[in-house]
Structure 1
Amino acid sequence: MKKTFTLVHPKKKPARVVDAIKSEVKKYIKRERNKQLPKDSNYWAFDCKFGLTEQDAQAVHQNTISKKIDGAVAAGHDSFYIEIIARADFRARKIED
Structure 2
Amino acid sequence: MKKTYLLNVEGKNRDRLLDAAKHDIRKYVKRERARPLPAEVDFFDFNCRLGSSQETAVEVHFAALFTAIDTLTKDGASQFYAEVVTSHGQRTAKPYDASRDAQAQADADYQDN
CA–CA separation in structure 2 for the residues paired with 1:41 and 1:92: 12
Q: Which amino acid aligns with 1:63?
A: A
% identical equivalent positions: 34
Q: Which has the higher helix share?
A: 2
- Displacement, 1:74? 1.1
Aligned counterpart, 1:81: 81
User: Paired residue for 1:46?
Assistant: 46
Gaps of 5+ in 2: 102-113
TM-score between the two structures when normalised by the length of structure 2: 0.79
Which of the pair has the greater relative contact order for Cα pairs under 8 Å at 6+ separation?
A: 1
Question: CA offsets per residue over residues 19-47 of structure 1, 9 Å max, x none?
Answer: 10110010001101111111001100100
CA RMSD across the alignment = 1.5
Q: Which amino acid aligns with 1:53?
A: S
**1:72 Cα deviation from its structure 2 partner:** 2.1
Aligned residues: 97
The ranges of structure 1 where at least 4 consecutive aligned residues each deviate by more than 2 angstroms after the TM superposition are 92-97
TM-score by length of structure 1 reads 0.91
Letter in 1 for 2:68: K
Q: Which runs of 5 or more structure 1 residues have no equivalent in the other structure? A: none
The CA distance in 2 between the partners of 1:78 and 1:49, in whole Å, is 18
- The structure whose residues are more often strand, as a share, is 1
Distance 2:15 2:79 in 1: 14
Q: Secondary structure at the match of 1:46?
A: strand
